Amino acid sequence: MAERTAEVHAANDEVDALRRVATLVAQRVASVEIFSAVSDEVGRLFGSDISAIVRFERDGTAAVMGVHGGPHAPGARVELEPGYVIASVRRAARAARFDTDDPQAAGMPEVVRTLGIRSGLASPIVVDGQLWGAITLASLGRSLPPGTERQLADFTELVATALANAQARDALSRLADEQAGLRRVATLVAQGASPDDLFSAVAEEVAAVIDIPVVRTLFGAEIAAIGASSSPNRP
């Protein structure tokens, strides 16, 4: 009876944790807040000493986006060790688990020996069909409970939903900026603005949309040179 009661309490705790994260996702709070909340929730729920959300980078490293416990702060870049779970997720795009009775044994990954990890998990975060990163857990004193992989997958889905929502909002914002820029240039054309004013306006709008201020100078200089070379008064 006591065992059944404990299982019910554990299930309720999981539902409550998922509900809290789902509420943040539905409210469209900033991704950084969701990363922090998920790291805290899974750390408490599974009793892990370390929990983190990492984003896989093109150079083969992982960026720490949210963390509960552990040696790294958000924003840190870490190398992926081939023998540990995060590298396994990066390679195979599926959940990975690690367990050992002796973290100091020969051949153990450096992170296992350094932190004394006895049990570790990582579950992939997939956004729009692409592997984005992972949620990872580590326990120093005991093995993580069976079934943790399945439960962790529920949180990765919520993070993926939050990221997809954020990307959709960013895309809509960029589209709105582009349309507004086109309208401003079209208004200048309709008002009979001079070529120099048009060239300057187009350069400003391009620089703003692609977020590279130097485009303004380069584009403006190139247009000015073209205008000068085509001028009928050019000596």
The tens digit of pLDDT for each residue in 190-216 reads: 777 777 776 677 667 666 655 544 444
Superfamily for the 2-167 domain: GAF domain (3.30.450.40)
The residues spanned by each domain of the chain are 2-167, 171-230
Q: Is 67 helix (H, G, I), strand (E, B) or coil?
A: strand
- Spatial CA neighbour of 83 closest among 71, 96, 64, 69: 96
Q: Which stretches of 18-129 are assigned E, i.e. beta strand?
A: 50-56, 61-68, 77-79, 96-99, 119-127
Residue 22 pLDDT:
77
The dihedral of CA 31, 34, 39, 40: what is its sign?
A: positive
Full strand arrangement of the beta sheet holding 119-127: 77-79, 61-68, 50-56, 130-139, 119-127, 96-99
Decide if pLDDT at 164 tops 80. Answer: no
CA distance 31 to 158: 11
Place 147 in a pLDDT band, splitting at 50, 70 and 90.
confident
CA distance 3 to 24: 32
Q: What is the pLDDT of residues 120-141, one digit of tens each?
A: 999 999 988 999 999 999 999 9
Place 58 in a pLDDT band, splitting at 50, 70 and 90.
very high
Q: What is the pLDDT of residues 212-232, one digit of tens each?
A: 444 444 444 454 444 444 444
- Spatial CA neighbour of 21 closest among 167, 166, 168, 161: 161
CA distance 158 to 18: 8
DSSP state at residue 74? T
